[in-house]
A and B are shown apart, each in its own frame.
Chain A
Amino acid sequence: MPDTAAEKKPPVRPARPKGPNLLALLRPYRPLVALLAVLTIVGNALNLAVPKIVARAIDAYTQGQLVLRPVVIELSAVAFGIFLFLYLQNLAQTLASERVARDLRTKLVDKISRQDHAFIQQVTPATLLTNLTSDVDAVKMFISQAVASLIASVFLIIGASVLLLSINWKLGLSVLTVLPVIGITFNVVLRRVRKLFMQAQQAIDRLNKVINESILGAALIRLMHSEQVEYVKFVGASGAARDISLNILRLFAALIPVITFSVNLATLMILTMGGRFVINGSMTLGDFSAFNGYLSILIFPVIMIGFMSNVMAQAGASYMRLSMVLNAPEKPPTGTATDTLRGDFAVRNVNLTLGGRNVLRDVSIEAGAGTRTAVIGPTAAGKTQLLYLMTGLLKPTSGTVEYDGRNIEEYQKERLHAQIGFVFQDTIVFNLTLRENIAFSKTVTDADLEKAIATAELKDFIESLPDRLDTVVSERGTSLSGGQKQRVMLARALALNPRVLLLDDFTARVDSATERQILENVHRNYPGITILSVTQKIDAVKDFDQIVVLMEGEVLASGTHTRLMETSPEYVQIHDSQRSTSHYELLRAQ
């Protein structure tokens, strides 16, 4: 859901036009990466020493000078040295990769937590989940597998190339012409593949979304017996993911054979050209076989790079996606005011456009500290958005929201949120204990908690639970009834000891008797609190200081119940629609 500021920019912004620099990511881990490089090179050098020692031993034996004992000791020492260095290298790359992954996740979450509600809605939680899991994993894979291999490969390729050129520069040069061919092949494939990897991750996003919706809608799907519908959706997304990965496969399946073939062509070149040189006497047979030997040393790192290019392409695509989140513009909070609110609030000429729709049009509401205001109106009138504006979760397209005569923007966010209790319309409970759910804000004392629970009429219920306040609520709050969840949310807002209480249709699922009781409790336990209540039930707010009729985003009328009954036909219509119950109200008053 784009908010006003987010709407000005296009939804998908290429963070960096070129591929982001994966190596830059490694900069803070320089010592560890350097250690990794040293361990890799030493390990590889030791590996190269083994054949040398064996060859020397055999030479010595043929000359009859072999003393077996020191050779065995030396060789065993080298073997254990290789074991040690290889393990240390693995240790270093595990640590480096996991650290990068951990820090990257921390950075991402840090960034996300500095963004507003609109950002999360716009990017969608499904995408952020893919970012934090499989995108970070791809980068991690790059470091754990590719970095050391690349270092070793480059080391070997350079070494072998130098040796080739030093033996016979003409043949050496012609053999090395395959390297640019390989380089170009890589480049072409990787460029195409990076796009595909982006698409693949997007397909995973979609897959996540379908799974998530099918989990949230588990009850609905079972009631409608629409398992098949969900399956078709899932197979669609899963099939798309498969098809993209098959396209990637087709490119990569070609890459490695093409590289091997190029190297084989180099072998042919040595055979024909080198053969000719040997025949016409410009090259010795020993050098000829050495050429072949060094070429085989060249092959392995080249193939290794081929394998790693897959990992690199995937990591590159993932890091690009991560960069989009990491480089998203921030809106630093500007407010500094930390005053304790009296509780006056004013909404002045507010317009709000969301997704091209005018949700609120020139809305103005004013209320003094300690007063009670109700907003009433049909579904989709913009009531909820009005409350979002008043907490700063949304920002008005034009107009201002003020507390105590001061623009909401001037207040320090945390301080403001600590004084405004917002009871959301849809139930949001965390997989925590009831105590943690209610005392969700950090500032809540035990006394605050007690008072909030009593006010929300939750005391009896909590007393009836075996673990009382330590009862853990399940993720989607399924262990609580609808009304209980709403009261938990009310208690959560009240526990702040707020100066202003924003209620979004909070009693929709609470029976009238409880609702009345709760409103009385709030009045008694929280004297002087300013209340703004969005509601459907006129009866509960009849005695409020002010009732605002909001329709289609516009304020049609406002005033006391009596005044509105005389002046607002829309209000009278709403009132009449609830009149069928009026004779029961008499009964209730007894």
Chain B
Amino acid sequence: MTPSEAPATTNYYALSSPAGQQAAHKATLGAALKRIAPLMADEKRTVALAALAMLTSSVCGLLGPVIIARVVDDNVRRGDFAGVLRWAAILLGIYLVGLVATYAQTLEMGRVGRQMLYKLRNAIFTKLQELPVDFFNQNKAGDLISRINNDTDKLNVFFAQSLMQFASNLFFMTGAAIFILTLNTKLGLVALAPALGVIIVTRLLSAWVKHKNLESLQSLGGMSAEITESLSNFRVIVAFNRLDYFRRKFDAANSQTYTASVDAGLANNLFQPIYGLAYNLAQVAVLAYGVILIGEGQFTIGLLIGFFLYVNNFYIPLRQLAVVWTAYQQALAALDRISAVLRLESNLLVVPSTEAPRPGAVLEFDGVTFAYPGGRDVLRDATFKLEAGKTYAFVGPTGGGKTTTASLMARLYDPTAGRVLLDGRDIRSCTPQERSRKIGFILQDPLLFTGTIRDNILYGNERYASCTDEQLLALFAERNLDRLLTRFEQGLQTPVAASATTISLGQKQIIAFMRTVLRDPELLILDEATANIDTVTEQLLQQIIDRLPASTTKVIIAHRLNTIAGADEIFFVNAGDIVPAGSMEQALDMLLHGKRAS
């Protein structure tokens, strides 16, 4: 991405921006099925089985009345009770087949729906994992959760409950329509005319209904985001007496959701009455035109009575389609929101390098300029080299660009201009595996995953994942890490939760430190990684760092001077410039007297 392209892609990842919502897809069943088809590929057999079961149960359902009519005519009227019993036995057999077939249909189709929901959720999650950090900076957690949970569920409802109904109703309707038309073409056309009107009205309304549903889902996502933010920051809300803020923000989101849902509900509920109206108008038309036809001698009263039954056979499934159609519009709206995530592509792809590696430095910045989307340059034309085995300190006022520099070293972002070289190769040509093996980065805000201390220390560490606790403790002892573990009451098995405040920030930083050191990185980056750890423990960490292999390159960002005291070289980062500071004294002088950027 060059700087000139930057404005166009400013909010590429913001799903709530107008660009993010421009997922205008055609509201046709075919288009929707095409988008979903890959997820159903493995389910073809199940779908076929379900269809077969549906056919069987429909046939069984149709056979029942036909047989009863026969029995009445042939047996009951003639007083043949033995015949009645014989037919009753056959009927029982048909009912049993119907029982099995209906069970199989519901089960198999439900399974397809659930399986698809499962795959779709996994697909979105995989996509989330592919997208860069930038994406998460631009979107709210609650809205993403809503997309993965609520929106996929709307699709599930459509597939599990409505799709088969749709198919079976269509099957019945086609049969009935053919019957009606063969019985009397003219009257048949009159009977089917309201259905044509319904199709036209449906086509006209669909886009609007889908839009209303989309708005409703958007506001639900917005509310979810509001709740997530407020609940995770509840401490501040309490301590600053702002429960009213929480309530007010929520009330606004709540009433917006209410309005949007009512609008969507009214739109969704329009189909059912309209389809019902078509049914009744068809009956009026058939009665009126039928009577006229009879008067002209083209039709008989007996046929007219039969005709009404077939009109029922056509319109009752059509009326049920109204419900299906609503579910379908909701599913389409949900699919739009899901597709908005799925169509995003990472802008941090691995690009093959054409150049030969430039030997010499472990890491090199070559004229690096960087700006966050829509922001000013945070770094300007930065050039420096880090050599193997040395310790580098990056100092400077807050907001000067230190964390950004470190993030670029690990390719959390790509520079807007210039290059970052890892082991002499453009870092963009390194695979994520290579990067993560070489670089150990301890972030400013440590994050623990729900689990135990052990889970968290071994997080993403395949090498030691299968170690027993004893082996692990021996490994810790080897590296001096064992003393850090004494800070936890239950040692490796101490439980932790990401949201809980039972583990202090300092403790979290200790775990993050152990996690990273245990991976033996070639380049160790500590971004304020020990800021909340007491200085006595910090000395311990220093000893551990000192005992790392001599080839380990260390990059330290810190405000505490003792943390950076042992550095081989100090860089001063301020207002977009990275300049070598020479000695500690010089660095201090710059810190004290240099103009601060913030």
Contact = CB atoms under 8 A, between A and B. Distances in A.
Contacts of B443: 219-220, 223
Contacts of B115: 242
A208 B149 contact: yes
Secondary structure type dominating chain B contacts: helix
A61 B596 contact: no
Contact of B598 (A82, A417, A428, A461): A461
Contacts of B450: 209, 213
B500 interface: yes
Given A264-B64, A428-B236, A430-B229, A54 B141 contact: no
A231 B125 contact: yes
A418 B241 contact: yes
A168 interface: no
B317 interface: no
Nearest to B78: A279
Nearest to A443: B241
Contacts of A559: none
Contact of B234 (A114, A120, A234): A120
Contacts of A393: 235, 238-239
A275 interface: yes
B291 interface: yes
B276 to A, nearest CB: 6
Interface residues of A, number: 174
B398 A223 contact: no
Contacts of A510: 398, 559
B246 A78 contact: no
Contact of B536 (A230, A241, A573): A573
The 9 closest A-B pairs by CB, nearest first: A483-B398, A379-B506, A226-B460, A79-B280, A90-B269, A94-B265, A225-B436, A125-B231, A508-B531
B598 A460 contact: yes
B276 A86 contact: yes
Contact of A102 (B128, B227, B254, B503): B254
A112 to B, nearest CB: 8
A505 B535 CA distance: 13
B559 A511 contact: yes
Contacts of B502: 1, 354-355
Contact of A58 (B240, B305, B433, B510): B305
Interface residues of B, number: 174
A68 B142 contact: no
A566 interface: no
A144 B236 contact: no
Contacts of B291: 57, 61, 66, 68
A100 to B, nearest CB: 11
A417 B235 CA distance: 12
A427 interface: yes
Interface string A426-449: 111011000000001110000000
Given A134-B150, A484-B399, A102 B110 contact: no
Interface string A406-437: 00000001100110101011111011000000
Contacts of A288: 72, 76
Contacts of A84: 273
Contact of A264 (B98, B122, B372, B436): B98
A380 B487 contact: yes
Contacts of B231: 112, 120, 125, 128-129
B203 to A, nearest CB: 20
A292 interface: yes
Contacts of A62: 301
Interface string A207-234: 1110111111111111111110111001
Contacts of A460: 596, 598
B255 A94 contact: no
B288 to A, nearest CB: 5
Given A61-B301, A261-B99, A581-B562, A223 B130 contact: no
A512 B460 contact: no
Interface string A52-76: 0010011001100010100110011
A227 B346 CA distance: 14
A133 interface: yes
Contact of B588 (A116, A218, A588): A588
A513 B591 contact: yes
Contacts of B510: 379
Given A215-B136, A508-B559, A253 B110 contact: yes
A392 B592 CA distance: 39
A108 B273 CA distance: 35
Interface in B24-64: 64
Given A219-B133, A230-B125, A440-B240, 16 more contacts: A1-B500, A90-B269, A109-B254, A129-B142, A204-B149, A212-B141, A215-B136, A215-B144, A223-B443, A224-B436, A229-B459, A249-B111, A257-B98, A271-B88, A289-B72, A479-B137
A125 B232 contact: yes
B398 A487 contact: yes
Contacts of A238: 118, 121-122, 125
Contacts of A223: 410, 412, 436, 439, 441, 443
A286 B369 CA distance: 92
A86 B271 CA distance: 11
B435 to A, nearest CB: 7
A574 interface: yes
B433 A378 contact: no
Interface string B286-317: 01100110100000010011001000000000
Contact of B111 (A80, A110, A222, A246): A246
B272 interface: yes
26 contacts: A75-B284, A82-B277, A83-B276, A91-B269, A98-B262, A102-B257, A109-B246, A124-B499, A128-B231, A129-B228, A221-B129, A225-B432, A249-B111, A252-B106, A261-B96, A267-B91, A268-B95, A380-B487, A414-B241, A440-B236, A512-B559, A537-B535, A574-B536, A577-B535, A581-B561, A584-B584
A292 B76 contact: no
Contact of B140 (A221, A239, A475, A574): A475
Nearest to A377: B534
B114 A249 contact: yes
A457 to B, nearest CB: 8
Contacts of A383: 504
Contacts of A282: none
A578 interface: yes
B492 interface: no
Contacts of A260: 98-99, 102
B385 interface: no
Contacts of B224: 129, 132-133
Given A90-B269, A133-B224, A229 B460 contact: yes
Contacts of A110: 247
B117 interface: yes
B412 A125 contact: no
A486 B444 CA distance: 12
Contacts of A99: 258
Interface string A494-524: 0010000000010111111111000000000
B447 interface: yes
A257 B592 contact: no
Contacts of B503: 380
B388 interface: no
Interface stretch (B79-87, B174-182, B472-480): B79-87
A214 B238 contact: no
A418 B254 CA distance: 28
A508 B272 CA distance: 63
A527 to B, nearest CB: 23
Interface string A346-377: 00000000110100000000000000000011
A355 B269 CA distance: 51
Interface in B268-285: 269-270, 272-274, 276-277, 280-281, 283-284
B416 interface: no
Contact of B133 (A218, A246, A258, A279): A218
Report which residue of A75, A413, A427, A511 has the largest number of chain B beta carbons within 10 angstroms of its beta carbon.
A511
